[in-house]
Amino acid sequence: MLDAEAVVLGGHGSRREKSNEQVRTLAAGLEERLGLPVDAGFIELAEPSIEGAVETLAPTVSDVTVLPLSLFAASHVKADVPLVVNQARTEHDVTVHNGRHLGVHPAMVELLDDRAAAVEAELGVDREDDDVVVVVCARGSSDPDSNGDVHKLARLLYEGRAFAGVEAAFIGVTEPLLDEALHTVAKRRPDAVVVLPYMLGDGVLTGRIRDGAETFDEEYPYVEAACGEPLGTDDRLLEVLADRFEEARAGDVSMSCDTCKYKVEMDGFEGEAGGARAMLRAMTHQAAHADRSDVDEEPHVHDAPDKHIAVCTNRTCAGQGAATVLERLRQAARDRELDVQITRSSCLDRCGEGPNVAVYPDNVWYGTVAPDDADRIASSLERDRIVSDLVDQTL
C-alpha cells in the first residue's frame, strides 16, 4: 500500500504567465513547508489543469489534497473545484481531500496591515498622529457570501488599530465600486487614504485599482492617497495554506452554508439554490473553460459552447451502460461538428432511472438513455429539438 501524500494547489489561471508563475512559486514554498510533493494546477487558462495535476500524482500516492488558491469562496470554490474533486474520486484509486479557500484568517489581516504601513511610509503619514483611512478593494462577486467576507476582513483590519476608518470596496460586479467608495471617504477629509488591492497578483484588475487610486489623488489635492502592493507570494500565504491543509486532512473543513446561495434560497438568487442546480451550473461553467481562443480584456469572459451535456457515470448509471452512452454521444457530436461540450458527471440524484443525461442551457434531462439513443440526441441538438420519449424532467 502507498502511504505517500501530495497536494495540488489550485490557482485560477491567467493569460499572463507571470501570474501563473506566482502559483508555482507558492506551490514550491508550500512543498518546502509541508515536506510533501505540491504541484500547481489551474481552473482555466493555464496548464496543467487541476484534474491533470491530480492524474499525474495519483499513481504514486495514497492521498491527494486539493487546496484552492482563492481569496474568498465564490463559484470556483463552491462549485467548480468540488466538481473536479468528485470526478477525481471516481476516476483514480486514491483518496482525494477537498480543502478550503484562504478566506478570513489572522495572517491575512496581518499581511494587509503591513501593506498599509508601507503606503503610510511612502506618504509620510502615521495612523497614530494622522487621520488615515484604508480602502480594501477586492474583485467583487455575484456571491453575497464572498462579498460579505470582504467586509468582515475590512472590519478586522480596523479593530484594535489606529486607523480613522477601514472601508470595503470592489473593482467590479458589485457595490460599492472603488470610485464610489473613494469619493465617499473624501467627504470625511482624512489626511491620507490608503488603497489596498486585495489581489494575489499584479494583473489587470490590480492595475485598475492602482489607476483608480491615482485618479483620486489627482482629483482631491487635500488628501494624500496611494495604492499598496498585492499580496504576492508572502510567506503568510503559506501559513494559511498549511492551516487549510491540516483542516482538510483532519476532515475539519468548515464553510458557511447558511449564507451560501447554492445551499439556501436568498433574495435575488432563488434560481441558484439546490445541489443539482449548483453542480450543473459548475459543469456548464467548467465547459466554458475549455476554449479560450478569443476573449477580450475582461479576465472572466468565457467562450462557452452552444450546449453542454452531462452524462451521469456514477455507480448505478455506470452499471447501466453510461460509459458507452458517453462515448457514443461524443462520437455523434464529432460527426455532426456540433458546438457542444460533453462531460461526465457524478450522481444526478435520479438513481434507477439512468443512464441520465442533462442538456444545458435547455434544462432538459433524459432518462433510461441507451447507447443507440445517442444519435437521436445529437440529431435533436443539431435541429434545436428534444427527444420527447426520453425526457425525464425539465428544470
Of 154-158, 167-171, 277-281, 363-367, the range with the lowest mean pLDDT is 277-281
Is the pTM higher than 0.75? no
The whole-angstrom separation of Cα 147 and Cα 175 is 9
Domain annotation covers residue 259: no
- Which cell goes with 52? 491533470
Of 97-111, 119-133, 361-375, the range with the lowest mean pLDDT is 361-375
Instruction: Check whether residue 240 and residue 216 sit in a common domain.
Output: no
Instruction: Check whether residue 95 and residue 191 sit in a common domain.
Output: no
Check which CATH number belongs to the domain holding 112 and give it. 3.40.50.1400
pLDDT reported for residue 349: 80
pLDDT reported for residue 203: 87
pLDDT reported for residue 1: 37
Instruction: Check whether residue 70 and residue 149 sit in a common domain.
Output: no
Domain annotation covers residue 359: yes
Q: What is the percentage of the chain residues whose pLDDT exceeds 90?
A: 65
Domain annotation covers residue 93: yes
Say which residue, 182 or 253, is predicted with more confidence.
182
Instruction: Check whether residue 115 and residue 201 sit in a common domain.
Output: yes
**3 state DSSP class of 96:** strand
Domain annotation covers residue 61: yes
Q: What is the dihedral of CA 245, 241, 252, 101, to 10 degrees?
A: -120
* Tens digit of each residue's pLDDT (9 = 90 or more) over 26-79: 999 999 999 999 999 999 888 999 999 999 999 999 999 999 999 999 888 988
How many domains does the structure of the chain reveal? 3
Main-chain phi, psi angles of 136, to 5 degrees: -90, 115
Range of the domain at 372: 305-394
Average pLDDT over residues 116-122: 98
* Tens digit of each residue's pLDDT (9 = 90 or more) over 266-312: 677 666 666 666 666 666 666 665 555 555 555 555 556 788 899 99
Domain annotation covers residue 285: no
pLDDT reported for residue 344: 83
Average pLDDT over residues 100-128: 97
